[in-house]
Structure 1
Amino acid sequence: MPLSAGPTAPGYGALLLRGLLAGLIAGLLAGVFAYTVGEPNVDAAIAIEEAAAGGDHHGDEAAVSRDGQRAGLFLATGLYGAAMGGLLATAYTLLRRRLRTPSDTRAALGLAGAALLGIVIVPFLKYPPNPPAVGDPATINQRTISYLALLVIGLVAVWAAVVAARTQQVEWRQAAGAAAAFLVVAGIGYALLPRIDEVGSDFPPSLLWNFRIASLGTQAVLWSVLGLAFAALLTARRPAAQPHREAVSS
């Protein structure tokens, strides 16, 4: 009898479910990191804000109490992670055939790493997040638009790096071309977008630094776990290869 065709590749729906599950896992773990490392910095920043206001006004003005915000942190990171997992699965579906690797694991990790670089690290270096006590509400629209513009530029920079690498045949030239293209595009974005610095000189530098590192760490945990979990689910979808033998008629 003929050899069996083997397991068929899953459709977009199956990949999307895997991405959502991987994203949910990544989001919850990122929430644990944010709660453990980031929340003490948020509390310290709120205490500074309340001291500057001359009393405890944060709890009166906030629509959600701090306890509610802490509980909602895991819901927020879980939903965000699931959304990013869906986007990763979509990108994998659209770009898998263009990725020059036979390994699903490398493809998944490569896409997650590109996302971390383009939509997290590039905007972070220009517009790092600030704790609650920092920022002028009047500039929130400008800050949001500038951040989103730089996010798009970060993705374009990653794309330019990939294109530049593929124009070269030698490995060191591929690396050099990718780095040059990425830095040129990101540098142009940094130069064109406005500088926004609303941190007062009286705000503790160590607290600001710790808050920003915790924010970056949360994103790093999310995308690292997302890439690993999605790769694991992609690998698990295929049963171990079994040798096929033709039936011999007696």
Structure 2
Amino acid sequence: MNARRLARLGILLSAWLSATGAIGTCPFFKPTQPESPDRPPIIPDYSSPAATLLTMAKGVEDKSTSNGQSVYMDALAESSAADPGDGRAFHAFFDLRDLQEHSTSWDRNRDWNKQLEPVMYSDLVRKYSYPYLMTWEPNEACPQGNCNDTESSTDALLHRKYRIMGLVKRGTATDTLPVAIGAADLYFVKSANAANKWVIALWQDFAITGADTATLGKRRLDTQ
């Protein structure tokens, strides 16, 4: 075997060893890929309107690392001509200010239904890389004036404020970054298909006076 052929084989062998990691950068100094969080699946609970909201919050905080999107979507009513499902379908309505801001991208005569919601969820959880915290609390200043929750054996109306915050670690401290802040009148129905399951049929979104952070309604419209 001549010297030129040996040299060529040597170059190929060196390239192969480098590509496979057999030689080259010491593994102690190789850049590492960030590991995906090992989250256990969420155990959903839709046994009451309050439990459904807590499950939705867990779904947002999961950020699709396990079954977060699935448990979030299952909190919304499902019904079609082919499959009556929960007996009601999900529809969302928007704050007037959000509609005005999106007047060229969203026809207010269109229906925001469950089929559009996964797009919003996906965009929301990918907007920031930080962990999220979502909370619900009673809305004592609801725009309609009557802020009392009502509940029967088959349906319920809850007035709630929501906050989704990004949790930003800075050394030993944790700062919060607003992701979505707003309020909603939420009409729940007990599913016609699943025992003891409460799902949201109507979501009327509102901006909170003095809050300059996007509502979830705006986050929905931003995807269109």
* TM-score, reference length from structure 2: 0.26
More helix by share: 1
If asked which structure has higher relative contact order (CA below 8 Å, sep 6+), I would say: 1
Structure with higher Rg: it is 2
More strand by share: 2
* TM-score, reference length from structure 1: 0.24
